């Protein structure tokens, strides 16, 4: 597991309540435990960062969350001089969710800084 994604551990083994990809962040709700956010935090001047996903995310509701990792992907032509892509793979008991993380930039900046944060559910006494 990547150091950058080390905060996914509390979610592993939990059941997915929701998965939302919103611009530059993915949020995974885990039933009764909390939510996991994974985001590219590497924003620098003159960059356009965003995430895309073609998977049917509703089909993963109820699946067990098994982990996540990043994987290299080929660059693509883009609006700027450079268009880097990196895959974020969310592993579940119903298969993988494949999210493309994009960084379009002028060639001076670049790279990715994908990190996870765990937000535990508030327990009522």
What confidence tens digit (pLDDT) does each residue in 79-106 have? 558 889 999 999 999 999 999 999 888 8
Per-residue confidence at 4, pLDDT binned at 50, 70, 90?
low
Q: Helix, strand, or coil here: 59?
A: helix
Q: Sheet holding 65-72: strands in order across?
A: 47-52, 95-105, 82-92, 65-72
Contact between 16 and 32 under an 8 Å Cβ cutoff? The reply is no
Helical H segments across the chain, by residue range: none
Q: Determine phi and psi for 57, rounding to 5 degrees.
A: -65, -30
pLDDT tens digit string along 68-82? Answer: 999 988 888 755 588
pLDDT at residue number 1? 38
CA–CA gap between residue 101 and residue 24 (Å, rounded): 8
DSSP β-bridge partners for residue 20 = 27
pLDDT tens digit string along 14-55? Answer: 999 999 999 889 999 999 999 999 998 877 777 888 999 999
The better pLDDT of the pair 6, 78 is held by 6
């Amino acid at each position: 597991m990547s150091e950058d994604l080390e905060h996914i551990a509390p979610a592993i083994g939990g059941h997915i309540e929701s998965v939302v990809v919103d611009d530059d962040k993915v949020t995974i709700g885990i039933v009764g435990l909390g939510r996991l956010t994974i985001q590219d935090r590497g924003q620098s001047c003159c960059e356009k960062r965003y995430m895309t996903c073609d998977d049917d995310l509703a089909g993963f509701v109820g699946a067990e969350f098994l982990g996540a990792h990043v994987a290299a992907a080929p660059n693509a032509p883009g609006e700027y001089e450079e268009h880097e892509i990196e895959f974020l793979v969310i592993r579940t008991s119903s298969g993988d969710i494949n999210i493309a993380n994009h960084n379009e930039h002028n060639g001076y900046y670049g790279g990715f800084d994908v990190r996870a944060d765990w937000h535990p559910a508030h327990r009522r006494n």
